[in-house]
Amino acid sequence: MDGYVRMYEDLYKVEGDNPTIGLILCSEKNEAIAKYSVLNNSKNLFASKYMLYLPTEKELEQELERGRKLIEQQIKDES
């Protein structure tokens, strides 16, 4: 992660941008790994436990349909 953050800082960051951050999604919190993963000696490293799962095909279809209806309603309201 450190390499990606440093490369982004060097190649893409422009004056006025906030500090670049990297996100690593893990299934468990590990204090030792967090301690030695600080990028550029940053004091802003946060770790939390996440419950990861993939949505079902039906859940994805429902979310797409909900989004489509919202967009259609916005277009209708603007007319």
Domain, as residue range, for 66 = 2-78
Question: Which among 45-49, 51-55, 57-61, 68-72 has the top mean pLDDT?
Answer: 68-72
Least confident piece of the model among 1-10, 14-23, 45-54, 58-67 = 45-54
Determine the pLDDT at residue 48: 56
Half-sphere exposure at residue 31, Cβ-oriented, CA atoms within 13 angstroms: 0
Determine the pLDDT at residue 52: 62
Q: Which helix (H) or strand (E) holds 63?
A: helix 57-78
Higher pLDDT, 56 or 34: 56
Total domains in the fold of the chain: 1
Whether the predicted pLDDT of 23 surpasses 80: no
